[in-house]
Amino acid sequence: MVAVHITVYLAAATVITIASSNKQGGSGKLHWAPMLLIGFFVVLATLMATFVMISIRGLPTNVAQMFLPNKSDRPIHTAFSGVVPHNEEAAKTIAQHMSAQEKQRRLGWKVEVDGLEAASASRSVEVKVATRDGAPLQNAKVVISIQPLANAESHQDIELKEENPGAYRGQVNFARPGRWVVELHIQSGDDAYQVEQSVSVPKA
């Protein structure tokens, strides 16, 4: 924010100075050098404002999926997530998370989710789970957790029921429009699978 304000103020001062000196000189035409300087400050101010908006709101989902790597392997969140503590407890938590991710990758489960992208507040969601060799994963516990992007207290868990071998279905109701974080948890014995994504709920 400070960088943006300084850039804008400098650009405004440059424009005013050049315009006033131009009036006094009476030539009526600006030299290419000050015009290039003005253009530089305009571009710089635009870039800074863009970066600030990206840090607050993140990249649009389509843009993030177009340019960022590993878009199909993990959820993409580009907004500033806040301050992360750098201590022994934080390092231990990160190590546990990475270990769980590696264990999940070795499982090789194939998971398909249908219905979350529907344009409505109430969505019928079906999750199909298969093992590494393609067999349906039966008798698993499948839970979808939802919460608004900026309010972790409004947390809700929906357990899906197995209607067919390896196919679990349930109704997910979003309380209000906006961006929501959706986490899918699958538990089968000691094996666990977790993935999350961002979902947009339109106004009714």
Question: Residue-wise pLDDT tens for the chain (204 aa)?
Answer: 777 777 777 777 777 777 666 555 555 566 677 777 778 878 888 888 888 887 777 777 777 777 776 655 555 666 666 655 666 665 676 667 677 777 878 888 899 999 888 878 889 999 999 998 889 999 999 999 998 876 666 788 999 999 999 999 999 998 888 888 899 999 998 888 888 888 888 886
As to burial, measured by CB atoms within 10 angstroms (0-12 exposed, 13-18 middle, 19+ buried), residue 143 is middle
pLDDT at 197: 85
pLDDT at 186: 92
pLDDT at 160: 94
pLDDT at 91: 62
For the question of whether the overall pTM of this predicted structure is more than 0.75, the answer is no
The answer to whether 150 and 139 have CB atoms below 8 angstroms apart is no
Q: How many CB atoms lie under 10 A from the CB of residue 168?
A: 23
| 28 CB-near residues (< 8 Å, 6+ apart) | 22
